[in-house]
Amino acid sequence: MFSQDNKFFLRILTFKYYPSSTGENALAYIFAYIHDAINYRTKNKDILIFIDEIDSALHPRWQQTILWYLLEYLNSFEDYHFQIVFTTHSPIILSDLTDNRIIRLKRDKNKIKIFTKENQTFGANIMRLYYDDFFMDNGGIGEFVKKKIKQVVDYLNGKDNNISLTEVQYIIDHIGEPTVKRQLKQKLNELVSNKEQTLIELIQEIGVQEAIERLQKRK
């Protein structure tokens, strides 16, 4: 925390209240440091506040309220003027800010560059902000499940034999996106139906015992 006379105030504050979560501690430290600086460390009325990753360790519900409570708290100091600069990786925090108050940074090889977006952030849909402002170019799901779904698709298209039918069924049954789940289940039902029909035709042609032996050899 800095003031216009270029003094830097930092004091290690220790809290001893239990039980407390990491998020509760993060909130306590933010407000405690500000309170400490204003009341005990400076007489300057113009204060610049820096907060690194204001959303760190905060539950999404707390991310929705942190700026509101922070501004309410600072507004209680009527004779002071504050400017707050903070970093965040949270689209929830971003949705509380107008786009003219946001500086977006992006790593380009070994350099950090400022980039601009045309979209307005204030009150914007949080999921849209994820895609527009947080480089979610590879979709909105984790890399692990993405690879698993691709493996299922390859299996259904006859391109992957390294996964069992049981695992394919398990993965499809637990997919949370209804459209993807429905399409994969339909494809699976068609595949199983075709295999059952092929097995019936094979049994009719060569008999049960020989059909079983052929299937065992394929494994």
Q: Tokens in use for 84?
A: 């707050």
**How far apart (Å, rounded) are the C-alpha atoms in residues 29 and 96?**
22
CA–CA separation, 147 and 143 (whole Å): 6
The DSSP secondary-structure symbol of 141 reads S
- Regarding whether 120 and 150 lie in a shared domain, the answer is no
Establish if 138 belongs to a structural domain: no
Cα–Cα dist 80/110, whole Å: 40
CATH of the domain at 63: 3.40.50
Instruction: Give yes or no for a contact between 31 and 13, defined as CB atoms under 8 angstroms apart.
Output: no
43 compared with 13, residue with greater pLDDT: 43
pLDDT per residue as tens digits for the range 175-187? 888 888 889 988 8
Same domain membership, residue 119 and residue 50: yes
Do 105 and 166 fall within a single domain? Answer: no
Rounded distance, CA 49 to CA 151, Å? 49
Of 84-88, 98-102, 154-158, 210-214, least confident by mean pLDDT is 210-214
Query: 85 and 7 in one domain?
Result: yes
pLDDT for the residue numbered 53: 92
Q: Say what the pLDDT of residue 211 is.
A: 55
Determine the straight-line distance between the first and last CA of the chain, rounded to whole angstroms.
68
User: pLDDT-derived band of residue 109, with 50, 70 and 90 as boundaries?
Assistant: confident
Residues 127-150 have a mean pLDDT of 75
Left if phi > 0, otherwise alpha if psi is -120 to 50, otherwise beta: which for 144? Answer: alpha
The last residue of a domain, from among 133, 157, 187: 133
Q: What is the domain extent for residue 106?
A: 2-133
152 and 50, same structural domain? Answer: no
Structure tokens at 37: 């600086």
Stronger pLDDT, 12 or 190, i.e. the higher one: 190
- Reported pTM: 0.63
Predicted local distance difference test score (pLDDT) of residue 9: 45
Which of 102, 133, 164 delimits the end of a domain? 133
Taking residues 161-172, report their average pLDDT: 86
Let me know if 138 is exposed, middle or buried by CB neighbors in 10 A (0-12, 13-18, 19+): exposed
In the prediction, which pLDDT does 38 show?
82
